[in-house]
Amino acid sequence: MIVLVINCGSSSIKYQLFRMPANEVMASGILECIGTEESALTHKTLGNKHLIEQKISGHSEGMALILDTLVDEKVGVISEISEIGAVGHRVVHGGEAYSGSVILDDNVIATIRDFSDLAPLHNPPNLIGIEAASKVLPEVIQVAVFDTAFHQSIPEKAYMYALPYEYYEKYQVRRYGFHGTSHHYVTKRAASMLEKSLDKTNVITCHLGNGCSITAVKGGKSIDTSMGLTPLEGVAMGTRSGDIDPAIVFYLMSKDENLTIEEVNNILNKKSGLLGISGISNDMRKLVAEAEKGSARAQLALDVYAYKIRKYVGSYMAVLGRVDAIVFTGGIGENNPFIRTEILSGLGALGIQINEEANNAPSSDERDIATEESRSHIFVIPTNEEGYIAEETFILADKKDG
Ligand code: ADP
């Protein structure tokens, strides 16, 4: 079966075409700047990259261009659209309704729409993607794979905020957690590297990309995670503050009367984190280079970033008791040995020991970078969120096809 995976944002559509069950990537790409003069599709096939610059005014038109490209005589990889057996959509927020992936129907779509209040930046564009794909592929099974689903196993004591209970009842204010596809995928890979069954696997997974989150996984299930009601909570990120004293919001608003709720929201989500502290960039590569050149603010941003992650890892060791492995994934987690060392350096007293030679060896493979003596393994595992979505989609579509 051929499965198309779609990750639809407000002005972009990312896609990957998979041959299943081999999980082989046939093509991938991104259509960016939808609705502007600059819209362009970058389409990749085995070893080749094609840039198609074309004005695209909306998501349906964008989806049609992607499908045309997939069947194009020169750059396409299939001959007919009908070869696509199922479409898998990344959906950010599934609230308390979904602890796994589901086949989309009108009810599911209505529920995703209901959760738009909880994820106003993500669920509406995800729905636009679902609508656009259903329009151009009306007969094809569409599946929703939720970022929140893996974390639905988190117990009440960990998801409940110490706020008046009525806000949970009235407005569903609780921890949901995100990056679930990535945390779940690397947990399964870690179990395989440990040669343990998933239900006996305890790991702490660190997804460190532009957004960052840490998850405590017990017996293969998420039991706590650093992101909360929204992806703003937790460790410091590229541009997000992560945890702060909530009173800072009222204090700042009392000091600067021009600060509106929207602007504070914008500051915490878009102007904080690595970018906010350094004043230079949210890009880890740039910050490491600037710190090496002597920038004190870049160094401070790196120090704050690693310190906050170390605190989460330490607290999740306390939550889990036995930790089989600490797992690093995401653009930073997979590629930055310096940050991995900074995070783990203070955990020696808890028996965590990194093997610096293995840590610094360039590799893009799954690997163990702990010393023989370390109490827990330290794994670097490249994430594969699209591959995970393709797998989930294939399993559900295959079952339905009977
Ligand atoms: P997203 O969360 O948007 O998917 P990524 O997982 O690609 O983002 O992570 C982006 C971050 O990873 C950036 O801070 C970037 O600097 C960092 N990064 C990506 N590749 C490398 C690399 N080779 N070395 C160090 N940092 C990297």
pTM of the entire predicted model: 0.95
The CATH 3.30.420.40 portion of the chain extends over 2-146, 196-380
Q: Which residue, judged by its Cα, is nearest atom 4 of ligand 1?
A: 209
Distance, CA of 344 to CA of 352 (rounded, Å): 7
Q: Are 277 and 304 in contact (CB under 8 A)?
A: yes
Cβ-based neighbour number of residue 26 at 10 Å: 17
Residue with tokens 């081999």: 22
Q: How far apart are the first and last CA of the chain?
A: 13
Q: Are 255 and 218 in contact (CB under 8 A)?
A: no
Per the DSSP assignment, residues forming a β-bridge with 329 are 207
Q: Copy the structure tokens of residue 86.
A: 């199922």
Distance (Å) from CA 303 to ligand 1 centroid: 17
Distance (Å) from CA 285 to ligand 1 centroid: 8
Q: Where are the beta strands (DSSP E) in 54-208?
A: 84-91, 102-103, 141-146, 203-208
Distance, CA of 226 to CA of 309 (rounded, Å): 10
Distance (Å) from CA 338 to ligand 1 centroid: 14
Q: Are 40 and 62 in contact (CB under 8 A)?
A: no
Residue 345 dihedral angles phi and psi, to the nearest 5°: -60, -30
Distance (Å) from CA 161 to ligand 1 centroid: 31
Amino acid making up residue 193: M
Q: Which residue, judged by its Cα, is nearest atom 19 of ligand 1?
A: 331
List the pLDDT tens digit at each of the 402 positions of the chain. 999 999 998 889 999 999 999 999 999 999 999 988 889 999 999 889 999 998 999 888 999 999 999 999 999 999 999 999 999 999 999 999 999 999 999 999 999 999 998 888 889 999 999 998 998 899 999 999 999 999 999 999 999 999 999 999 999 999 999 999 999 999 999 999 999 999 999 999 999 999 999 999 999 999 999 999 999 999 999 999 999 999 999 999 999 999 999 999 999 999 999 999 999 999 999 999 999 999 999 999 999 999 999 999 999 999 999 999 999 999 999 999 999 999 999 899 899 999 999 999 999 999 999 999 999 999 999 999 999 999 999 999 998 876
The secondary structure element, H or E, covering residue 350 is none
pLDDT of residue 212: 97
Cis peptide before 125 (omega within 30 of 0): no
Fold for 196-380, please state it.
Nucleotidyltransferase; domain 5 (3.30.420)
Distance (Å) from CA 360 to ligand 1 centroid: 17
pLDDT of residue 268: 97
Mutate to test the pocket of ligand 1, among 332, 381, 384, 388 (most ligand atoms within 8 A of CB): 332
Q: Is 7 in the pocket of ligand 1 (CB under 6 A)?
A: no
**DSSP label at residue 354:** B
* 147 counts as catalytic: yes
Q: Are 51 and 42 in contact (CB under 8 A)?
A: yes
- Closest by CA position to 301, among listed 345, 344, 237, 244: 237
pLDDT of residue 126: 93
Amino acid making up residue 380: V
pLDDT of residue 299: 98
Mean pLDDT, the chain, integer: 95
CA 18 centroid distance within chain:
20
pLDDT of residue 10: 82
Which residue out of 68, 117, 147, 324 is catalytically annotated? 147
Q: What b/e string do you get for 73-84 counting C-beta neighbours within 10 Å, with b at 16 or more?
A: eebbbbeeeeeb
Residue 117 makes CB contacts below 8 A (sequence gap 6+) with none
Fold for 2-146, please state it.
Nucleotidyltransferase; domain 5 (3.30.420)
Q: Copy the structure tokens of residue 223.
A: 């039991």
pLDDT of residue 120: 86
Q: Is 124 in the pocket of ligand 1 (CB under 6 A)?
A: no
Q: Is 209 in the pocket of ligand 1 (CB under 6 A)?
A: yes
